[in-house]
Amino acid sequence: MMTTDVLQHLDDGVLVVTINRPAKKNAISAPMYQALAEAIVAADRREDVRAVLLQGEGGNFSSGNDIGLFVNGPASDHKASPAAPFLRAVIALRKPMVACVCGHAVGIGATVLLHCDYVVASDDARIRFPFVDLGLCPEFASTLLLQQVVGRNKAAEWLLLGATIPAAEAHRAGLVNRVMPQNTVSEEALSVARCLAAKPPQALMATRGLMRDATRALVESSLERETVVFDTLRRSPEAQEIFRRFLQRTQAPTALGA
Ligand code: COA
């Protein structure tokens, strides 16, 4: 499936992957998940790729899963969710991944950050884990990883209350490595990614692998549990009504589920 909503190019050993659907604030559709998964799988295999940089076009990182994808179709096998190959590819990636976050980073646009090795955010970045307000539960092993990164109480605040987290707070809590002015954030993220790409690859991958292996089994089991609960919730009348309201815009998205 070809899409121009995900772009990629190689820059000094860095595969720059750009989510490119600015009219929808970079909401991720099924073909985009497939393109993202293919890019990450290829990055892992390609010898000329030493690091990955994930960014969004048009001033936003990503508004997350396209909510249209959540609307009930035929009974679904959760393993066949359009996001699944992307989640698997990111978790299996052996090379470092840097994220450059501008504007909105919502849903999977927020949880993917927990799988990155370095996150640069612009000072206008707004991160949000909106799952409960959408009638869903968090995904991408974020129920485990967010606690590990920011501590249990902060993770509970962010996952249960779902407030928008400004860049400075995300930085203080440890989710973001660096906050930069909007006009320099891309340059900084690329420079970090290039720096990683220039390291001795064997030692870099071994170090990263040891760090990840420490929690790999827990990540896998969290992902598995979340996926089952997520799909049950997604199909519920409660969640379907919330998606319908978002798509028909009879209620502001920030007040979803209120
Ligand atoms: N899925 C589908 N469409 C989305 C979307 C999403 N996740 N996020 C934004 N869009 C669409 C909007 O429906 C709108 O489409 P339209 O122009 O055809 O009406 C367009 O993108 C622009 O979004 P808009 O809401 O007008 O922009 P905003 O600047 O006022 O708000 C957000 C930006 C990201 C705060 C808001 O769009 C939002 O909350 N989106 C939902 C995010 C979400 O809950 N994602 C998690 C899924 S798990």
DSSP letter string over 108-125? HHHHGGGG-SEEEEETT-
Counted domains in the chain: 1
Ligand 1 neighbourhood includes 142 CB (under 6 angstroms)? no
The answer to whether residue 191 is domain-embedded is no
pLDDT attached to residue 89? 98
pLDDT in tens, the chain (258 residues): 579 999 999 999 999 999 999 999 999 999 999 999 999 999 999 999 999 999 999 999 999 999 999 997 655 554 468 999 999 999 999 999 999 999 999 999 999 999 999 999 999 999 999 999 999 999 999 999 999 999 999 999 999 999 999 999 999 999 999 999 999 999 999 999 999 999 999 999 999 999 999 999 999 999 999 999 999 999 999 999 999 999 998 555 554 433
- pLDDT, residue 255, reads 42
For residue 69, how far is its CA from the centre of ligand 1 (angstroms)?
13
* Tokens describing residue 181: 């002015």
Each residue of 189-214: pLDDT tens digit? Answer: 999 999 999 999 999 999 999 999 99
206 within domain boundaries: no
CA distance 219 to 30: 24
In a domain, 1, yes or no: no
> Which residue range forms the structural domain that includes residue 105?
6-181+214-257
Examine residue 136 and state whether it is found in any structural domain, yes or no: yes
Q: What is the CATH number of the domain that holds 86?
A: 3.90.226.10
Residue 59 included in any domain: yes
- Is residue 16 situated within a structural domain? yes
Strand partners, 178: 120
207 and 149 in contact (C-beta within 8 Å)? Answer: no
Distance 26 CA to ligand 1 centre (A): 9
Interval between CA 208 and ligand 1 midpoint (Å): 34
Tell me whether residue 201 is in a domain. no
Please choose from 24, 124, 245, 254 the residue to mutate so as to test ligand 1's pocket, defined by most ligand atoms within 8 A of CB: 24
Task: Give the number of other CB atoms < 10 A from CB of residue 120.
Answer: 29
In the chain, the largest separation of any two C-alpha atoms, in whole Å, equals 54
* Digit-coded pLDDT (tens) for 63-83: 999 999 999 765 555 446 899
| In 16-161, alpha helices (H) | 30-45, 84-92, 108-111, 142-150, 152-156
How far apart CA 62 and CA 33 sit, in angstroms, is 12
* pTM of the complete model beyond 0.75: yes
> Contact at 8 Å (CB) between 247 and 67?
yes
Which atom of ligand 1 has the smallest separation from the CA of 65?
47
The answer to the question of residue 85 being in a domain is yes
Residue nearest to atom 39 of ligand 1 (CA): 253
